[in-house]
Amino acid sequence: MRNLLVAGNWKMNCGPGETAALLQGIKNSGVTIPDNVDVLVCPPTISLKTASEELQEAEDIALGGQNVHSEDNGAYTGEVSTKMLKEVNCEYVILGHSERRQYFGETDKTVNAKTVKALEDELRPVICVGESLKQRKANEHKLVVRKQVEAALIGVEEQQAEQLVIAYEPIWAIGTGETATPDQAQEMHAMIREVLADLYSQDTADSIQILYGGSMKPHNAEELLSQSDVDGGLIGGASLKADSFTDIIKIAGNLS
Ligand SMILES: O=C(CO)COP(=O)(O)O
């Protein structure tokens, strides 16, 4: 049985001070992380060191970056490398979030290069895919997402693939308060798992956690996380408050 992964993408929220406060809030909430739940937080780059220090005695909460460059170092103003993320104890990195694709020119090609680099340097990529409202209305959502998954994984070998996490995040559901229905999420997650099985094997596909992201909140987490191919959530807004994030952790613990 796969563990469910409850992951917080803090986006451009929480400098070091607020990061310390939020993580203390999570730790002081008294939540015990269930054995069958993995928990991940992804603060902004500038707050990762503080987060790492705060999480020193909370080994069951993993740390991740929100982006990484595909080169080791060099003249890339504003960027961070895999080694820098690892130096502050990141185990994961979010790649290809739709906001990065939309505002910062990320393409399937850059997402692929970053995925290959992250795996090479033993950071687990959380690869984000998802269709726009226009694409869903045009009934192109499956094709679009299939292509995004395939493109991200060019050159990724089967034995590395077990380190992957995929996040299905329909763009129309991000920060809008509108979620995919449980059936819509299940349909897309099952399709993504099929793509992974075609690329690798059913066993490998079954071992990869596929997260849902897009307005996941305590009130809708149970119905989404109960779907057989939904292996967790990538949570934006609701991960910024200790109580809503820990509520989702508890809901996941009761399910898996
Ligand atoms: O983009 C998301 C997580 O990466 C989802 O954000 P919201 O939960 O705020 O909709």
Angle at 26 between CA 84 and CA 228, to 5 degrees: 85
Nearest-CA residue for atom 6 of ligand 1:
236
Q: If you average pLDDT over every residue of the chain, what do you get?
A: 96
The verdict on whether 97 is a catalytic residue reads yes
Max CA pair span of the chain: 49
Predicted TM-score of the model (pTM) = 0.97
Tell me the pLDDT band of 1, cut-offs 50, 70 and 90: low
pLDDT value at residue 178? 85
Residue 176 Cα: closest atom of ligand 1: 10
Whether the pLDDT of residue 25 is over 80: the answer is yes
From residue 28, alpha-carbon distances to 18, 32, 58, 127, 234 in Å are 15, 10, 11, 31, 22
Per-residue pLDDT, averaged over 3-30, amounts to 97
Alpha-carbon distance of 74 to 81, in angstroms, equals 10
Per-residue pLDDT, averaged over 237-248, amounts to 98
Q: What are the b/e assignments for 40-50, b being 16+ CB within 10 Å?
A: bbbbbbebbeb
CA 129, distance to chain mean position in Å, is: 10
Per-residue pLDDT, averaged over 225-253, amounts to 97
Nearest-CA residue for atom 7 of ligand 1:
236
Whether the pLDDT of residue 242 is over 70: the answer is yes
Tell me the pLDDT band of 187, cut-offs 50, 70 and 90: very high
Per-residue pLDDT, averaged over 232-243, amounts to 98
Architecture of domain 4-255: Alpha-Beta Barrel (3.20)
Per-residue pLDDT, averaged over 209-232, amounts to 97
Whether the pLDDT of residue 161 is over 80: the answer is yes
Alpha-carbon distance of 187 to 227, in angstroms, equals 10
Instruction: State the distance from the centre of ligand 1 to the C-alpha of 174, rounded, in angstroms.
Output: 5
Is ipTM over 0.90?
yes
Burial class (CB in 10 A: 0-12, 13-18, 19+), 88: middle
Q: Ligand 1 pocket test: pick from 67, 98, 174 the residue with the most ligand atoms within 8 Å of its Cβ.
A: 174
* pLDDT tens-digit map of 42-97: 999 999 999 999 999 888 999 999 999 999 999 999 999 999 999 999 999 999 99
Per-residue pLDDT, averaged over 185-194, amounts to 98
> Which of 209, 203, 178, 205 shows the shortest CA–CA distance to 194?
205
Tell me the pLDDT band of 175, cut-offs 50, 70 and 90: confident
Segments making up each domain of the chain, as ranges: 4-255
> Dihedrals φ, ψ of 95, to 5°?
-130, 140
**Residues framing ligand 1 (Cβ under 6 A):** 9, 97, 169, 174-175, 213-216, 234-238
Tell me the pLDDT band of 256, cut-offs 50, 70 and 90: low
List the end-to-end C-alpha distance of the chain, in Å, as a whole number.
Answer: 8
Tell me the pLDDT band of 199, cut-offs 50, 70 and 90: very high
More confident residue, 152 or 1: 152
* pLDDT tens-digit map of 95-149: 999 999 999 999 999 999 999 999 999 999 999 999 999 999 999 999 999 999 9
Burial class (CB in 10 A: 0-12, 13-18, 19+), 31: middle
Gyration radius of the chain's alpha carbons: 17
Q: Which residues are annotated as a binding site?
A: 9-11, 175, 215, 236-237
Q: Which residues are annotated as a binding site for substrate?
A: 9-11, 175, 215, 236-237
pLDDT value at residue 158? 97
CA 48, distance to chain mean position in Å, is: 16
Contact between residue 165 and residue 209 where contact means Cβ atoms under 8 Å apart: yes
Residue 94 Cα: closest atom of ligand 1: 4
Per-residue pLDDT, averaged over 15-35, amounts to 95
**Choice among 97, 99, 131, 141 that is catalytic:** 97
Nearest-CA residue for atom 8 of ligand 1:
236
Q: Half-sphere exposure of 251 toward its Cβ, with a 13 Å CA cutoff?
A: 21
Alpha-carbon distance of 180 to 73, in angstroms, equals 39
Whether the pLDDT of residue 2 is over 80: the answer is no
**Choice among 54, 99, 106, 169 that is catalytic:** 169
The verdict on whether 219 is a catalytic residue reads no
Q: Ligand 1 pocket test: pick from 13, 216, 219 the residue with the most ligand atoms within 8 Å of its Cβ.
A: 216
Q: What are the b/e assignments for 121-156, b being 16+ CB within 10 Å?
A: eebbbbbbbbbbeebbeeeebbebbbebbebbbeeb
